Structure 1
Amino acid sequence: MQRRQLLKYTALLLLTGLPQRGFSARYPQRIATPDRGGTQTLLALGVLPTVSVGSDFYNEMGTTPFLPAGIPDAGDPSEPNLELLKHYQVELIVTVTISPIIQRQLQRVAPVIALDIYRDSGDAFAQACDETRRLAARIGRPDAAERYIQDLNNHIAAAANNLRAVRQRKVMVAGLSSDGRHMTVYGRKSIMSGVLAQMGFEDGWQGSTNNFGFTNAGIESLASYDDITLLVMDYGEDTRAARRVLHASPLWRLLPVVKQRRVLMIPRFEIFGGLPLAAEFTDKLQDALLRPVYL
């Protein structure tokens, strides 16, 4: 699959700077995406960025759609390379997570569309759909957005059907600190929470979250949750270090979610992404519940 994707996008790369199919000269042709969320959203619309976040940085999180190597690298998202963006004469810059301060710097090069997915109103899944449509309209590809959203909804519905026999319907998603005492919980206002609702599950975290849908908490806070499945993001060595500490902890062994063997591993993914994050999480949730790997 990745080979076919690579061939497809390599062909598109050769056309970078020329009008892509479905484009009109009145729409921006040369688009930069200096963070993961903007990159995956543009790719989902069938458009290859002229300049993007680095492919290694993008792909190491398993982010989809696949981003081929060879596209000019915009640099670290916290400090994009303005000279490079000017060199490639970008006409539009698309971002999800880059700060307003950096956005103002980027505006010296080209207009910026900041996809407003994560905000206080909370429903990040619905907002990601709306913002994907807004970007598609800006670049002249509204039909591509509608096709993608319809395909995504069908994909989520199919996964929900596959999981209909799962009895435990409350799910909490978290990443563990290497010290084994703290965790970052991804709950309401996250795209993952919206996907859970779409699939007939319930976000297990009952506490508040910030606008990006996460909060930090102590492991001991899990003591009050006796009816959840905990999905632990696999962050490599940090997660392995946390597991070593926790497996030696009497407190950990007494937690209801641990005693009931409901702590499952889930591969890492871009948790602050655009709408394609919903498809990623759908697949990973389905795999975790149907083919569990225990912490």
Structure 2
Amino acid sequence: MCLLLALLCAAGPLAAQPRVVALGWEAAEHLLKLDITPLAVADAGDYRTWVVRPTLPDEVPSAGSRTEPNLELLAHLQPELIVIPPLLEDIRDKLERIAPVVAYSSFSQNHDNYLSARDNYLALARHFGREAFAREQLQAMQARLDALHQRLLAHFHGRLPKVTVIRFSSPTAVFINGDNSMAQHAMQLLHLRPAYPLPPSPWGIVQTPVTTLGRIEGGVILHIEPFAQQDQLFGTPLWRAMPFVRDGRFGAMRSTWTYGGVFSIEYLAEAIAEALLRIEVKQR
């Protein structure tokens, strides 16, 4: 993060219509939220499938893969700047023959992933002379989060439930979003507490057997759709015996990218809130 900030702050702003390539999806998200359309994005088709928001225009081509960018295409595009994730540092010298390069910090258990993404966004904004615009975007996100928080308070009569966000990897295994995951950062900004605290990790997730979910006491469990094999689990006696299933404390979140930039917090918060608002509140 410090390297990115130093490089971007040292550079002057580019033209009003900058020619920039994003070789990581977080950089692509942040450029789009600065009203800058990248010349190309690594794995652009997969971005449109998995990340989805903010929308990447159809005309933006793929710059190769996120692990092996297309250097010939990049040279042909003649960008003014190339933004890379840390995993491409080993080819920085090749990329710098094409255009100046800046590197984004990535997910790590050694820093707060949300604050790191926020710093990355603001650093990129300063480079392009768009910091005021960027801060307006962040303020709008905070206002949206505050509004969602108020809706949740009203729905749950002032007693917000603890929440666990999961993603099934199979009928027998599940990823639990814990400390330093973007899902949990979104929860924190909605003033929601985790029902199953986990230690920090680089991506904030832990894979565990589905049976582990039975240990979670209280709160709501939300699973991120899609789960193609749900019929192999949800109809089983094991699943129906889970306390949160019996008590109606289980819900589905619409598909949302959990490894994104700073605005993935807003998209996750929206999906979490929508799912919670469908949970029936039992009268005490």
Shorter chain as denominator, the TM-score bin is 0.7 to 0.9
Give secondary structure in 1 for the equivalent of 2:222. strand
1:260 lines up with 2:238 in the alignment? no
C-alpha change, 1:251 and 1:115, in structure 2 (3 Å) is same
The match for 2:217 is 226
Q: In the TM superposition, what are the counterparts of 1:144-223 in structure 2 within 5 Å?
A: 144-165=133-154, 166=156, 167-178=159-170, 180-223=171-214
Question: How far is 1:225 from its partner?
Answer: 0.6
The match for 1:132 is 121
The match for 2:19 is 30
Q: In the TM superposition, what are the counterparts of 1:78-157 in structure 2 within 5 Å?
A: 78-96=67-85, 98=87, 100-101=89-90, 106-157=95-146
The match for 1:71 is 60
Question: How far is 1:101 from its partner?
Answer: 4.1
CA distance in 1, matches of 2:173, 2:92: 32
The match for 2:261 is 274
Kindly provide the amino acid, as one letter, of the partner of residue 240 in structure 1: A
How far does the alpha carbon of each residue in 1:197-231 deviate from its partner, in whole angstroms, 9 at most, with x for none? 11110123322342111111111111211212111
The match for 1:251 is 238
C-alpha change, 1:212 and 1:106, in structure 2 (3 Å) is farther
Give secondary structure in 1 for the equivalent of 2:167. strand
Kindly provide the amino acid, as one letter, of the partner of residue 285 in structure 1: I
> Which ranges in structure 2 are unaligned for 5 or more consecutive residues?
1-11
CA distance in 2, matches of 1:292, 1:68: 35
1:287 lines up with 2:278 in the alignment? no
Give secondary structure in 1 for the equivalent of 2:32. helix
Give the TM-score, by structure 2 length.
0.84
How far does the alpha carbon of each residue in 1:124-170 deviate from its partner, in whole angstroms, 9 at most, with x for none? 22222222111111222111221111111111111111111324421
C-alpha change, 1:92 and 1:148, in structure 2 (3 Å) is same
CA distance in 2, matches of 1:106, 1:216: 36
Percent identity among equivalent residues? 26
Contact 2:71-2:95 within 8 A present in 1 as well: yes
Kindly provide the amino acid, as one letter, of the partner of residue 161 in structure 2: R
Give secondary structure in 1 for the equivalent of 2:136. helix
Contact 1:172-1:203 within 8 A present in 2 as well: yes
Question: How far is 1:122 from its partner?
Answer: 4.2
Kindly provide the amino acid, as one letter, of the partner of residue 213 in structure 1: G
Kindly provide the amino acid, as one letter, of the partner of residue 62 in structure 2: D
CA distance in 1, matches of 2:169, 2:73: 36
Aligned length: 266
The match for 1:15 is none
How far does the alpha carbon of each residue in 1:29-48 deviate from its partner, in whole angstroms, 9 at most, with x for none? 21111332211111111111
Range that drifts further, 101-110 or 89-98: 101-110
Give the TM-score, by structure 1 length.
0.81
Aligned CA-pair RMSD = 2.5
